[in-house]
Structure 1
């Protein structure tokens, strides 16, 4: 259902508010550069700092600006099942193709609780769901056997796997439903992830290097791993630099270097990246031919 390079979009702010004009321009640029789908209100989009009204407006603007050119996978995660359903209901109403739902964070449910969370969502709304597993942020980890069971539910179509455990790509491929889509959630592991059976990445780096990331994913899809390795070598320093300080500080800085009108504003508790981080980003952008 989804494949290729899918940026988890940064959310620009100006004077503390959502900078809608900058976001619309980012959406257009991403589509023009070859991104295959877009994710508003993910981790990189600072969803955890948005009010529900802001969260919904960002999704609405993304769907509106994309205007059917690419599918929108709306970030709908919450540690509260009821609130996740609220986000999903709004996303379906405004025309999103799917909802990206992170494993419930902070509460630390067991595997039974995780299963109940996602099962309740699929039973409550007719909108495809993409599981999002990122244990480094949520503490909760969706175990492979739980993913396999959830993949059998008709509403669950894919996973964004940011566990960093590459063995799981093969486990998921062998044990999940035949049409279950596996997307990497870690840019620097995407080459190995795709070789093991993945078909794309929900990416931080694609925010600032959408054309290169789209070309990399196309090479993988074509089985041209020599070309994919060459592109990965170009992108790898950028992947690393974008996490040289707390994300999304470095990616917003990178966007401001490539798109001069893009705001670097962050919401507390996030703060601007360090000088060392900015230097690393500049060097990686230059090495990739982006500045």
Structure 2
């Protein structure tokens, strides 16, 4: 169900509020450019600073605008299992296709606690789930053996892996490959992840160049490895530029620079990109022909 180039969608703000009109325009931009799935309210969508009402509004608006043209994987994770269940049931109720669930952050649960967290959500929601492993944000790593247990839950359909550890990802494919799909959580590892058996990416850079991310995967799937490599290496400098500062600061700045969103407004404690990083980002956009 989930494969190809999925976008980790930004949440546009205007004067401190979610800019719903621009949000819906972004959905249409992605549909027109071949994006294979929309992922609202993830890390890139600044879910950590959305109120519960805003979180629900963003999910509902994206689901309505997509209108079943591509899958919507709604970010519904929390470090509170009960809250994650509540948000996932909401996403299910408004018609999302799956839920993206970050490993519980700050609590630092054990591997057993991680398993029980996803097990409880699966049992309570009976909805397609995508665990999201990113130790750099959560301080906990979902180890391959634990992921294998999680993959036995029938509701779990894919994993977004952003550990940056290809060895770990390969082990997950070996242990779970026939039970759930592997999606890269890092644009810069898209091609290596495809090579070890992954089927796609939840992408940040897709916010500005969706067709180019799709084209890398389509060339790979067609068996034209050389073309896929060529396209990947061309995109790689831009991927790196998206992490000059903490995501989503650079991608929002880039989208504003190319006119994709009206402004790069962030919410504290996130702040606009610094002058030195902005200069490097502008240079990367110019080199890629976007400015």
Question: Shorter-chain TM-score: which interval?
Answer: over 0.9
Say yes or no: does 1:280 pair with 2:290: no
Q: Deviations over 1:232-276 (max 9, x none)?
A: 122111111111012211101111122254321000000111122
Q: Report the secondary structure of 2:244's partner residue.
A: coil
1:108–1:261: structure 2 CA closer, same or farther, 3 Å change rule?
Answer: closer
1:72 maps to 72
Tell me if the contact between 1:27 and 1:65 (Cα under 8 Å) persists in the aligned partners.
yes
* Worse overlay, 140-149 or 168-177: 168-177
2:196 maps to 196
Structure 2 counterparts to residues 150-165 of structure 1, below 5 A = 150-165=150-165
Tell me if the contact between 1:151 and 1:177 (Cα under 8 Å) persists in the aligned partners.
no
Task: Give the distance between the partners of 1:114 and 1:260, measured in 2 at CA.
Answer: 38
How many residue pairs were aligned? Answer: 291
Tell me if the contact between 2:92 and 2:127 (Cα under 8 Å) persists in the aligned partners.
yes
Residue 177 (structure 1) shift:
5.2
Residue 190 (structure 1) shift:
0.8
Task: Give the distance between the partners of 2:259 and 2:57, measured in 1 at CA.
Answer: 23
Structure 2 counterparts to residues 61-210 of structure 1, below 5 A = 61-176=61-176, 178-210=178-210
Q: Report the secondary structure of 1:156's partner residue.
A: coil
Q: Report the secondary structure of 2:284's partner residue.
A: helix
Tell me if the contact between 1:35 and 1:211 (Cα under 8 Å) persists in the aligned partners.
yes
Tell me if the contact between 1:6 and 1:201 (Cα under 8 Å) persists in the aligned partners.
yes
Task: Give the distance between the partners of 1:221 and 1:177, measured in 2 at CA.
Answer: 17
* Worse overlay, 270-279 or 55-64: 270-279
- Please list every run of 5 or more consecutive structure 1 residues that lacks an aligned counterpart in the other structure: none
Tell me if the contact between 1:41 and 1:75 (Cα under 8 Å) persists in the aligned partners.
yes
Task: Give the distance between the partners of 1:262 and 1:176, measured in 2 at CA.
Answer: 42
Tell me if the contact between 1:100 and 1:130 (Cα under 8 Å) persists in the aligned partners.
yes
Task: Give the distance between the partners of 2:221 and 2:262, measured in 1 at CA.
Answer: 31
Structure 2 counterparts to residues 34-45 of structure 1, below 5 A = 34-45=34-45
- The runs of at least 4 aligned residues of structure 1 exceeding 3 Å deviation read none
User: Could you say what the CA RMSD is over the residues aligned between the two structures, in angstroms?
Assistant: 1.1
* Worse overlay, 147-156 or 170-179: 170-179
Residue 222 (structure 1) shift:
2.0
